[in-house]
Amino acid sequence: MKELIKKVVEAYGPAGNEAKIREVITEEVSPYVDEIKVDALGNLIAVKRGGEKKIMFAAHMDEIGVMVTHIDKHGFLRFYPVGGLSPLTLIGNRVIFENGTVGVISNEKLEAQKDLTLNKLFIDIGADTKEQALEKVNIGDVAAINREYVDLGKRLISKAMDDRIACVILIEALKKVTKPAYDIYAVFTTQEEVGLRGARVAAYGISPDLGIAIDVTRTGDTPESATMDVSLGKGPTVKIRDSSLLCTPSVRRYMEDVAKANGIEYQLEVLEAGGTDAGAIQLTKGGIPAGVMSVPCRYIHTASEMIDYNDVVNGVKLITAIMETEFTGALSHYITT
């Protein structure tokens, strides 16, 4: 699975520009599903038949990036963030455009560090003039962070773990599931980083009986980190809430029950800031029961996001088990009424 992780996280695919990563995922899932389609917003929808009800799994395939807004006479690029970016994490990092052009981010002279903002940064692509720069890039072109995958053993580091690691989990679950309890709609969504847009469109088109997003979440296990009962290596999380939703209580209990029944280690997650595709799914049409499984991740929205491999393994187990487990208890009431 580590080879697949490397392949997926290193692929290019900022929000709104997901064609290359969609091709990678399509190649991986095609042999294991009954139908594949791409909707108007670029979501990749892979369907595996199993029963009369529909369960939608959403893992966003887009990553954060930067969009060129201005090219000065010396060939330096100004940019706007595509997704949430902090200037503190960008200086000295490299970016890569879809055509392979690489640049380095640096900053203007500052009186004090507190003056560092995104509009004080620029990208140097090695051009001397605006005309030279225009031979490589243009206004509106989008670049992703350019950083390789690193295997530390049980810990893995790369750009775009958010949310490509969830894409890997969904791919692996589709490979492993043998007796799906319902029709599975595995959706690799677009434009999550700029407002959960792909998931909203996909959920409207599919109208699932249940929606489960797979994403990363922050941790509370680094020095003087925010107080949060989530750590690397203690299993994937079952979310209770984030800024985009309060997870449907019966869905959360259903996910916990599946984890317990299959002996899968998991954690409970209360995320104070940040959202997921489940927030869009839950508010689609007349409302859809929704939950989230997250992978603990350090240094989210940086060039070096870190996850624990065992959390990924257990995440695959949990999503596969959910695919094969019928709805129970209060959740059955939501689905059948």
Structure confidence at residue 118 as a pLDDT band (50, 70, 90): very high
Per DSSP, the three-state class of 189 is: strand
- % the chain with pLDDT above 90: 91
Q: Which of 126-140, 168-182, 319-333 has the lowest mean pLDDT?
A: 319-333
User: Is residue 101 in some structural domain?
Assistant: yes
Same domain, 99 and 185: no
Please say if 192 is a catalytic residue: yes
- What value does the mean pLDDT of the chain take? 95
Residues 52 and 69 in one domain: no
Decide if 151 is inside a domain: no
Q: What is the pLDDT of residue 330?
A: 65
Domain match, 127 and 40 both: no
Flag whether 154 is in a domain.
no
Q: Do 199 and 316 lie in a common domain? A: yes
Hunting for tokens 């000295």 — which residue is that?
92
Distance CA(63)–CA(259), nearest Å, equals 29
Cα 170 to chain centroid distance, Å, stands at: 11
Q: Cis omega before residue 163 (within 30°)?
A: yes
- The set of residues, in sequence order, having a beta carbon less than 8 Å from that of 78 and lying 6+ positions away, is 68, 69, 70, 71, 72, 119, 121, 122, 123
Closest CA to 156 of 295, 305, 296, 8: 305
**Residue 333: band (very low, low, confident or very high) from pLDDT cuts 50, 70, 90:** low
Is residue 221 within 8 A of residue 231, CB to CB? The reply is yes
72 near 78, Cβ under 8 Å? yes
How far, in Å, CA of 161 to CA of 164, rounded?
5
Predicted confidence (pLDDT) per residue in 242-286, tens digit: 999 999 999 999 999 999 999 999 999 999 988 999 999 999 999
Q: Are residues 125 and 262 in the same domain?
A: no
The parent domain of residue 6 ranges over 2-63+159-336
Provide the pLDDT for residue 336. Answer: 55
Query: β-strands 35-38, 94-97: how paired?
Result: unpaired
Last residue of a domain, one of 145, 173, 202: 145
Instruction: Show which of 90, 117, 145 is a domain's final residue.
Output: 145
Q: What is the pLDDT of residue 209?
A: 95
Q: Is residue 299 part of a domain?
A: yes
- The reply to whether 27 falls in a domain is yes
| CATH code, domain with 83 | 2.40.30.40
Please identify, among 145, 179, 213, the residue that sits at the C-terminal boundary of a domain: 145
Domain presence at residue 153 = no
Query: Residue 89 gets which letter from DSSP?
Result: G
The answer to whether residue 315 is domain-embedded is yes
Q: What is the pTM of this model?
A: 0.95
Q: State the first-to-last Cα distance of the chain, in angstroms, to the nearest integer.
A: 40
Say yes or no: 120 and 241 in one domain: no
Inside any domain, residue 150: no
As beta bridge partners, residue 82 has 65
Number of domains forming the structure of the chain: 2
In this structure, what CATH number is given to the domain that contains residue 329?
3.40.630.10
Give the pLDDT confidence of 316-331 residue by residue, as tens digits. Answer: 999 999 999 998 766 7
Q: Are residues 116 and 173 in the same domain?
A: no
Which DSSP state fits 256?
H
Q: Are residues 197 and 329 in the same domain?
A: yes
172 and 25 within one domain: yes
Is the distance from CB of 329 to CB of 288 less than 8 angstroms? Answer: no
**18, 192, 193, 269: the active-site residue:** 192
